[in-house]
Structure 1
Amino acid sequence: MNLPGWVAEASSFRDPNGYVYYWGGAPFRRINKEHEKHYERLLQSGLYEQLVQQRWLVPHQEVEAHSHPGDGAYKTIAPERIPFISYPYEWCFSGLKDAAMLTLNIQKKALDCGMTLRDASAYNIQFLHGRPILIDTLSLGVLEKDQPWGAYRQFCQQFLAPLLLMSRRDPRLNQLCLTELDGIPLRLARTLLGRHAYLSWSAFVHILLHSRCEEYSSVRFVKTATRDGRFSERAFRGLVDSLESAVDNLTLKQSVSQWSNYSTDSASYSDVSLQHKIQTVRHYLERSQAREVWDLGANTGTFTRMACQAGARVIAFDQDPICVEANYRQCKIERLDVLPLVLNLANPTPAIGWQNRERRSLLQRAGADTVLALALIHHLAISHNVPLPMLADLFAEMGVWLIVEFVPKDDPKVQLLLQNREDIFSHYTLQEFEGTFSRRFTIEDRTSIIGSKRTLFLMRRRSACR
């Protein structure tokens, strides 16, 4: 049933307790009668107020129900809107770790109030003002006496397993969650960890033994949690404490990558050139009156943080997880409204899940007013053979304003890209670049960077080009 102004959230069909929909573009959450006792306990126990005060749970207002389809409605709530929805397979190590720690902290608070997280999906966490926050109010339910944590396996698959693999093996292994929407299967995690599954107590217990018990009988595993087959609250708290210790002790072993020192590489910019570039970008940000910025190829975030400090909310993308990690940590220290994400622009996040609608693609989430593309064009045009017209189309789809840097073919970095391949890029010239991008954008300003052959442009999308 379709009603004017009513749009269902495509990812909200699995929960029998309610669903998310949009009315006039604003998000709402319907709560079904089956969830009444859980919702009332959440409010009466004081847990909701505690979580909202600590900014661990997205706040909401109870509102009048809209004429939406279906029977059995109990209440309708209007949660605070999350400006940009990201997914766990786009998060860096520390982002996923912070989300995991938040989940466990909420579980501990819930136990104090006689409640529990009935599921521990990483997709229930989003980032708001640079911090993780729980967005699924209906995941909190009344604690059933002597029952084990039903979300234990889910937590291990969606948080602990990818964190262990990123820490012990390779930070890129979080990308496995793109093909495993329910989290990395514990048996697969055990195989990929290899000897690390035996050397780490947390991996041994929560991954290796957990997966072995699943292979034989998950029921048998639960029943042996205590002598009499019951799972006491003390055992519950012990499990959560064990998981918390496991996550908290994990660190990212790799700290340097091919691109992590790019922003300080003197082969790209002298001190004078870099300062001129910074001044010019800052001026362009002011002219565009940027409020929501997408920084593409953000590296370790020098210009990301500049945009945020100028008053913009920034989503920063880079394909190097080490660069994203460094950016995330620095933004966390400075408490900036920045969300650094791992993304290969030549192969961006696709739409996946049920009917390819459950998780949105990058471009389905586009809507920035300003796009930064600094020291990026040559990588896409030469390393990935993407024609300039297609790059112009992409940027026009992402935002209204474009701050872009053209790096010419005789630049040392471009020469490095061409070192072991044939130069088939006769159209990669400044003149061709300006002509191509002028079809999608008006060029508001151009600046040659002092001491460099690179050029910065401020462009505005033509109104009919979206």
Structure 2
Amino acid sequence: MRKIKPDSSSFRDPDGFVFSVKGEIYRAIRDTYRLNYEFFINSGLYEHLKSLNYIIPHQDIKFPKVGSDIFKIIKPQKIPYVSYPYEWTFSELKDAALLTLRIELEALKYKMSLKDGSGYNIQFLNGKPVFIDTTSFEIYRENTPWTAYGQFCRHFLSPLSLMAYKDPFFNQIQRLYLDGISLDKVSRLLPFRSYFNLPIFIHIHLHAKSSQLYKNKTVFKQNQKFTLAAFNGIVKNLITAVENLKWRRGDMHWSTYYDSLSYSPEAFRSKNMIFDKYLKLALPESLIDIGANTGHFSKIAAKKGIFTIALDNDPVVMDCLYQECQINNIRNLMPLVVDITNPSPDLGWENEERISLLKRGPVSMVSMLAVVHHLAIRQNIPFEMISKFLASLCRWLIIEFIPKDDVMVQKLLSNRKDIFFQYNQKHFEKVFSQRFIRLNQTKIADSNRVMYLFKNKHRLTLNKI
């Protein structure tokens, strides 16, 4: 009998678990889920959801005997890059919420229902949210409320409401509450005007109050009627609640970055040409763009067929980039809200349930343009630590060095003492040459800025995209 180890994030569901063998992902389905799984397949619901691109496709696998309680092994299509709800933009989280609700409506048509309303059941594939938990469906039981309702509100409606009414940065709170943000906390944080939004009043404020009032009491009794029409009505009302939530577009820190004094038109054209040249030299399959701001260079890479992850700590700019990708059908670019100086850590049970950003790589290439001076001067991070960090992430590196006499560096130094005596091009090159081979360096026209193409001295096992 072959022993398989469940993935560290896949231990809570008694009906199955995810595991990997030689980098390939599989899902084991236990015998306890046999009836629901067979109904899910034979009813046509799986094929229907697959035709809508709502659920991750899978294939049945003949696997060596793995345990007497295992009914079936399936192999789902692999997600190119795992992300988590606390890294998503407002619109990414909103689209994930709407997908969950639309799946529930479709499931009800086939006499099934979702037993989970978790945000972690969603990943992004080809620029769109997709449902990945095949064992989340159960046969619909008449006169029974939606068991996933509370979890859906905590995982989706709570953070979306806070992001819409307060600030997009509130999504980061999900790092603290992996099973969703409690409704009573959200109700207290939301402004008074949210009470005049009827769906929010019902599903957040009233829901929070009733949960506190009846938390030690049995509310629903088996002889009570909860019709299918009522079930559909709640789901549709939740769809209305989510669809009507809009974030307020304020000033974006990076929105006019390339229109400012940073680059002349000639310098910006030169930077584009150098970036394009380096992509052609390295031919990466995947790229992480650190400090992507508006996503200009992320889009250049994505349009060349390179799977691109755009990272920036500005949730508004990243949300605009995600919406632009949806409008222009850019399917291989994934914006994530990440502060690279404080990236997503290992979280959850034994710090293994949600893996850190750094453990989800490495990728073929990292681009880090006009970022080094922020790390070295604003954050006081030495070149040695920046170099070590980047060497753990990629095989190829495109990086831009901005000298101390540049207007943007002078701006950083304007209100502080200059203690950065080793912030110079010579020291930068010396430090990075310890871990990287310098293949090319090119001065950006009409500026003193320099772009480099480096290759890691160590051969990394890349994350397959």
Q: TM class by shorter-chain length? A: over 0.9
How far apart are residue 2 of structure 1 and its match? 8.6
Partners in 2 of 1:464 and 1:82 — Cα distance? 24
Partners in 1 of 2:218 and 2:156 — Cα distance? 21
Partners in 2 of 1:342 and 1:305 — Cα distance? 16
Query: In the alignment, is the contact (CA less than 8 A) between 2:395 and 2:459 conserved in 1?
Result: no
Aligned CA-pair RMSD: 1.7
Query: In the alignment, is the contact (CA less than 8 A) between 1:166 and 1:174 conserved in 2?
Result: yes
Partners in 1 of 2:271 and 2:400 — Cα distance? 10
Query: In the alignment, is the contact (CA less than 8 A) between 1:263 and 1:302 conserved in 2?
Result: no
1:234 aligns with 2:232: no
Counting only pairs closer than 5 Å after superposition, residues 84-123 of structure 1 correspond to structure 2 as 84-123=81-120
1:372 aligned residue (361, 367, 373): 367
Whichever residue aligns with residue 417 of structure 2, its letter is E
2:10 aligns with: 12
1:142 aligned residue (139, 142, 145): 139
Whichever residue aligns with residue 348 of structure 2, its letter is G
How far apart are residue 416 of structure 1 and its match? 1.0
Listed one character per residue, the Cα deviations across residues 161-217 of structure 1 (whole Å, up to 9, x for unaligned) are: 100100110000000000000011101101110314413212211011001110011
1:131 aligns with: 128
1:79 aligns with: 76
Listed one character per residue, the Cα deviations across residues 242-294 of structure 1 (whole Å, up to 9, x for unaligned) are: 000000111111242222221332x0011111111011101111111011110
Q: Structure 2: which 5+ runs fail to align?
A: none
1:175 aligns with: 172
Q: What SS is found at the alignment partner of 1:190?
A: helix
Query: In the alignment, is the contact (CA less than 8 A) between 1:116 and 1:140 conserved in 2?
Result: yes
Over 3 Å off, 4+ runs: 218-224
Whichever residue aligns with residue 298 of structure 2, its letter is T
How far apart are residue 464 of structure 1 and its match? 6.3
Partners in 1 of 2:68 and 2:349 — Cα distance? 24
1:424 aligns with: 419
Provide the TM-score with structure 2 as the length reference.
0.96
How far apart are residue 385 of structure 1 and its match? 0.5
Q: Matched residues, percent identical? A: 41
Listed one character per residue, the Cα deviations across residues 111-164 of structure 1 (whole Å, up to 9, x for unaligned) are: 011011110100000001111000001111111111000111111110011001
Aligned residue pair count: 460
Whichever residue aligns with residue 377 of structure 1, its letter is V
Query: In the alignment, is the contact (CA less than 8 A) between 2:395 and 2:460 conserved in 1?
Result: no
Query: In the alignment, is the contact (CA less than 8 A) between 2:124 and 2:130 conserved in 1?
Result: yes
Counting only pairs closer than 5 Å after superposition, residues 277-356 of structure 1 correspond to structure 2 as 277-336=271-330, 337-356=332-351
Partners in 2 of 1:364 and 1:77 — Cα distance? 25
Q: What SS is found at the alignment partner of 2:392?
A: helix
Query: In the alignment, is the contact (CA less than 8 A) between 2:437 and 2:456 conserved in 1?
Result: yes
Range that drifts further, 449-458 or 196-205: 196-205
Query: In the alignment, is the contact (CA less than 8 A) between 1:190 and 1:197 conserved in 2?
Result: no
1:53 aligns with: 51
Whichever residue aligns with residue 293 of structure 1, its letter is L
Query: In the alignment, is the contact (CA less than 8 A) between 1:260 and 1:322 conserved in 2?
Result: no
Listed one character per residue, the Cα deviations across residues 344-371 of structure 1 (whole Å, up to 9, x for unaligned) are: 1111110000000000001110121010
1:218/1:145 CA distance change after superposition, 3 Å: farther
1:40 aligns with 2:38: yes
Whichever residue aligns with residue 168 of structure 2, its letter is P
Partners in 2 of 1:244 and 1:218 — Cα distance? 26
Q: What SS is found at the alignment partner of 1:305?
A: helix
1:162 aligns with 2:191: no
Range that drifts further, 26-35 or 331-340: 331-340
Whichever residue aligns with residue 280 of structure 1, its letter is I
How far apart are residue 453 of structure 1 and its match? 1.1
How far apart are residue 223 of structure 1 and its match? 3.5
Q: What SS is found at the alignment partner of 1:306?
A: helix
How far apart are residue 236 of structure 1 and its match? 0.5
